[in-house]
Amino acid sequence: MKQHGRFTFIVAGEAGHGVRRAGIVAADLCGERGRYVFQMDDYQSLIRGGQNFSVVTSAPQPVLSQYLHANLVVALDRRSYELHRGHVSRGGVIVYNADAVPEAGVEGVGLPLSELAKGYSQPALRLGVGAVVVFLVAVGLSRDEAAGYVRRKYPRDAENNVAYALSVYDVAAGRLSARYRLEKGEAPETMLTGNEAIGLGMYAGGLDMYFSYPMTPSSSILHFLAGRAHDFGIAVVHPESEIAVMNMAIGAASMGVRTAVGSSGGGLALMEEAMSLAGMSETPVLCVLSSRPGPSTGVPTYTAQGDLSFALNQGHGEFPRIVASPGTADEAYGLAAELMGLAWAFQTPAILLTEKHLSESRMTVRVPSAPPVALRAKQRRGKGEYGRYALTRDGVSPLTFAPSEQLVKWTSYEHDENGITTEDPGMISRMQQKRLRKREALVGALQRMKTVNRHGDRGPAILTYGSTTMSVREALVYGGIEAEVVQPVYLEPFPTWELGDLSARQVVVVEQSCAAQMAGLLRRNTGAEIRAAVTKYDGRPFDPEDLARRLKEVLKHG
């Protein structure tokens, strides 16, 4: 069952051709027409050269994934042509830069995009404008409409951009004019990347300070919040290293400041010792872990779910950890705020685990009119001697902060109720039990919250998490597959109370992990029988067409 009115546009070229911007501009037009949009950027870790492409899929109905078989492909160099000529859907067309692709034996529509750009400054960067104009011609904009749209979307050096755009329009119009019709929809125009949604969610949850050292694919959270720090009334700090990031965040939190940090796996590995400091000192910090393929540097600009076990076991020693993973940008907004509240309510670090695919993909969102309700931290009441680590039934001690008439002591060493260093075996045991009680209280709180999403209510169970949820849901729509998608949002503590039915069912797990880490986590916690694990670990997200085929094969032989 293929979506009615779905249209996919691919623009591809070298870094420096303005490829990503071209994708954004094309996506914006689709959004302005009320269409649901999903935009994914594929790029190498290079400033110039290499091979980049942007995929924009839109439809009048919700769309949760890019499609690699496109109605319109614009290839700005030869390598892009060779890579994407097999990605043209039936009835589609590939348009190539005739100045970069020899015409002998070539299929498609050749346009002299480089030749037309020679009379302008930064001719290579103009190629992205040319790709946008090809898109505008193909979807039926008039010459004047195209000029106005380019002027609006490329305001810097607008006159030259418009002049170049019109020269491209004139050579493209006779061969591509109104080839496609973009059916209008009623989608909200707002589009956000996952990282932008996370940043907004943290702000909605009361964020005061954000600390980060840039590391793809989390870096755009830092850039997004830094650009809005004045409007939001927050402080955004770029320290000298990831170690400094976490330690500064803990120090700020000990003064009552709501803090968050962000990184990828390599950066969070450097924060691991400080993560345990947060566990021992009972410091609330929200950590965003946006995954890419590893180990080590791995493939910095691509996606993976190989950090699941790493996130679940972050830090040495025994202390409660909260780990949750959003499936969409809408969900990332609410979850970021919710995790901020949980970290403060239980005075322990929380990890928002995501992946490059959600972090950097841009999609249609419905931002709630009211921010999520944040859980409140337990505050100290009354006077007298203050015990920072007072023993309580739920393990959560009342908070107060300097300046204060009483001594307020946060410490990394094992301690008594006042935060004074101790090596007494009885007190060590009591403090260990205190921290364990916090986890028990946390489980109780989560049992009153929604910790698992289910999409569909009949057919086999397909379990997945994080951004792969979008791929699975889109594959089921594309393939006309009837199944129940089960998506644990909270991963630690693992919501066994919502997944008990899986122990009596055969489950297909879909994830982007070579070792099938989620399948193992499910089996250990529920005893569910894993019929099959459908995995992908080449750094690229699932394509819904290919995933639908794989799921049909697995379900047929189940």
Closest residue by Cα to residue 349 from 204, 492, 522, 518 = 492
The reported pLDDT for the residue numbered 2 is 47
Domain assignment present for residue 182? The answer is no
Chosen domain end from 176, 210, 231: 176
Three-state SS sequence of 471-485:
HHHHHHHHHCCCCEE
Shared-domain flag, residues 203 and 170: no
Put residue 547 in one of left, alpha, beta given phi > 0 → left and psi -120 to 50 → alpha.
alpha
Domain boundary among 345, 364, 383: 364
pLDDT tens string 369-388: 666 666 778 787 667 789 99
Task: Give a yes or no: residue 353 inside a domain.
Answer: yes
CB atoms within 10 A of CB 492: 21
Q: Give the pLDDT of residue 376.
A: 74
Where a domain ends, among 176, 205, 228? 176
Residues 23 and 168 in one domain: yes
3-state secondary structure 118-143: CCCCCHHHHHHHHHHHHHHHHCCCCH
Closest CA to 248 of 219, 220, 221, 208: 208
Asked if 248 and 169 sit in the same domain, the reply is no
Q: Which residues contact 365 (CB under 8 A, 6 or more apart)?
A: 188, 190, 191, 192, 197, 328, 329, 330, 333
In a domain, 409, yes or no: no
How big is the chain by its Cα radius of gyration, in Å?
A: 26
pLDDT of residue 1: 39
Same domain, yes or no: 217 and 310: yes
Domain residue limits at 500: 452-556
42 within 8 A of 518, measured Cβ to Cβ = no
Same structural domain, 160 and 205: no
Is residue 535 in a domain? Answer: yes
CB-CB contact of 264 with 218 (8 Å) = yes
Query: Are 438 and 392 within 8 A, CB to CB?
Result: no
- Are residue 297 and residue 207 in the same domain, yes or no? yes
Cβ-Cβ contacts under 8 Å for 515 (sequence gap 6 or more): 306
Q: Looking at this protein, which amino acid is placed at residue 527?
A: G
Specify the pLDDT at position 377: 80
Whether residue 392 lies inside any domain: the answer is no
Same domain, 276 and 157: no
User: What's the angle, vertex CA 28, arms to CA 156 and CA 99, rounded to 5?
Assistant: 65
Q: Are residues 162 and 196 in the same domain?
A: no
CATH of residue 34's domain is 3.40.920.10
* Same-domain check for residues 276 and 299: yes
Number of Cα atoms under 13 Å in the Cβ half of residue 386: 19
Q: Are 318 and 485 in contact (CB under 8 A)?
A: no
Same domain, 17 and 129: yes
Strand 259-263 relative to strand 209-212, pairing? parallel
CA proximity to 182, closest of 4, 362, 25: 4
Residue 282 included in any domain: yes
Inside any domain, residue 445: no
Token readout for 93 is: 């067309």
Report yes or no on 272 lying in a domain: yes
Residues 114 and 218 in one domain: no
CA distance linking residue 289 with residue 353, whole number of Å: 5
In this structure, the strands spanning 322-324 and 350-355 are parallel
**Number of domains composing the chain:** 3
DSSP state of 349: -
Are residues 275 and 166 part of one domain? no
313: domain CATH number?
3.40.50.970
Residue type, 533: A
Tokens of 218: 């989390």
Residue 480 is part of a domain; what is its CATH number? 3.40.50.920
pLDDT along the chain (558 residues), means of 10: 79 95 98 97 84 96 97 96 95 95 85 95 94 97 97 96 98 92 93 97 96 97 98 97 98 96 97 97 98 95 97 96 97 96 97 98 86 72 83 95 86 96 98 97 96 94 98 97 97 97 92 98 94 97 98 87
Among residues 123, 124, 134, the alpha carbon closest in space to that of 74 is found at 134
Three-class DSSP labels, 180-218: CCCCCCCCCCCEEEHHHHHHHHHHHCCCCEEEECCCCCC
